[in-house]
Structure 1
């Protein structure tokens, strides 16, 4: 049956679209510009009861989002692909924001597998990733959590209610008191996400103080396919010779020189199917797993072309930042001959 009245969820999705695109119009703009109360309040959001990793009960509206700037995503701790990357990326955001998290910015990760993810399991998960204070991991009743996901526009029929706990990659950030909400990718640059949470959503009515123009902007080179994959997937957990920002990425090793240190076939397989290599107890895979706090390398579901693109980018970036010394020359008998190729040691 088709009616002429929009449901609250459809209204909320429309608002998300407008705000994500930077459009302020219609009822959303009227509510914001007039200073009237936001429609996205107690009457819209369910006041679902959840339990955090410390066993504390929390109401979704009253305790978690009311009059707060928040970031909310949905994960489950046994996930071996996207969830660890989401957690790693938000961990970077938390490190950028520092002690503002838990004071004027609040981070929430809610389990979609509450039967498995008890408070005790969530607590161990936060310890494994070394989550700082102010970021809550929560569980509760499965049906209530599904209803909550739907109210936030983070539930897609055919994906989120399918088998094997598949779920869409989504993150919502917002300021409940102003009614300003944005749907974002959890793989977004951590500095951009942090800026939106600490500035855009806090002071969105203030005029911009940026007086720079396009004439002073530097010329940027287009990223290769491999660089795009690295920045959206790999950089959640790894650095690439980026010592300046190394403090926000401490989950995995730096990748400069990895194409010189590892056997190419081993490295290619490790990128494509790390979960299988860990299941097989591959010696080097297990060493890395134990070295980095038992956080498993997630399966990024990359194909042959994508894997090759990433490895090419890592090799090119290594050569750019750490060019190999010129080959030694043999002057015996006055003839200048190049020495044989350098043999790289396999890292442990």
Structure 2
């Protein structure tokens, strides 16, 4: 395409997704996959990856390896991991199409506590970017793609925007992305969404608290206030912000929100969000002018948070999001590339 006719920005499209007739509401779409979906069968070969600062993350490998193949790095959401059903579902689809999968278990998120006081957070792109470098160094001909959900979506988008044209990744995808973090934190402290917030806070407090002792919290981190926190803003004020060098929760939200990084993404990227997502504020969706030309934002009317359950034959539940992501990755990183 002639440079004078190249698009100045990305595009926003309406999705073809239609929810299951019995699961049209946002909470049903969000809760049913967690409670009723059987875990997709998948065996990970787990690698402990040592990090430059002396800590570690774990990588769950699946799919037969061979040089120069397509590798999809999958990044889970808040309090997720190798057991996340959406991650396992997509991994299975990709492996069946010849991909190798590397699931990144974010720092501190696994069964074994990490070594340093800090854990992962929405802006923590360093470990993902280090993993991508390691994968490229191991096999310069490997063709890399990354996918993230929710918090993982924020990390993926931010990393792609930070690296821009220097990214070793051929394509990226994200789902249920919290483009602006502060409005989303406020949304989760209202109405029915407080139930999601309470459940996630229980898991976060358990994840952080198991490290103290033997570790000692750095100055400024108030572990007692963290354990008392009844909202994400209180939790992030007491722990996340001071632990990771932010002035307070709002400074953390402002500096780490992925929406600001969409303009500098230089590789093909698909972002899928539902307009009825109960985790996200409704007015955070970026305009097309705020997207890089390589970015497509696909919006569904319904779908909840990392839900997107459609109806299959005889009314069975089908997980549309995983098929949509796998199909898009096949187009963005085709197997017959030479």
TM-score (normalised: structure 1) = 0.22
Give the greater-gyration-radius structure (CA).
Answer: 1
| TM, length-normalised to structure 2 | 0.22
Normalized per residue, which structure has more strand?
A: 2
Q: Which has the higher contact order (CA 8 A, sep 6+)?
A: 2
